[in-house]
Amino acid sequence: MALGDIGAFYEWVEREDPAISLGIAIKSWIDRLDRAAWQAPSTPIDELTVDGEYQIRFATYLEVDIWYQEVYTTGKIDLIHVGAHPS
């Protein structure tokens, strides 16, 4: 797997202006997706997954929600959304 579109990360940084340390931690977690798309604490969202084509996964890491898809046909992982977890 390889990281594809990670624009949602940069949109989150622009939109929410997180602390630098939080931004670095989230980016580091995202960067590890290319080695293990299923890394904890992510879970698959079966209702949004199309078998054989792509899998949608969701994680809340350090109180930040991260939605992404693993596209089997391209071998890429694309971010869908990054944002603060609602309180």
Q: Using DSSP, state whether 29 is helix, strand or coil.
A: helix
Which residue in this structure is represented by tokens 């079966």? 46
Which one-letter amino acid corresponds to residue 16? E
Q: How far apart are CA 73 and CA 67, in angstroms?
A: 19
Q: Domains of the chain (ranges plus CATH)? A: 2-84 (3.30.2310.20)
Res 46: pLDDT: 87
- Per residue in 55-85, is it b (16+ CB within 10 Å) or e — as a string? bbbbbebeebebbbbbbeeeebbbbeebeee
Res 50: pLDDT: 85
* Tens of each residue's pLDDT in the chain, 87 residues: 789 999 999 999 999 999 999 999 999 999 999 888 888 889 999 888 888 889 999 999 999 999 999 998 888 999 999 998 776
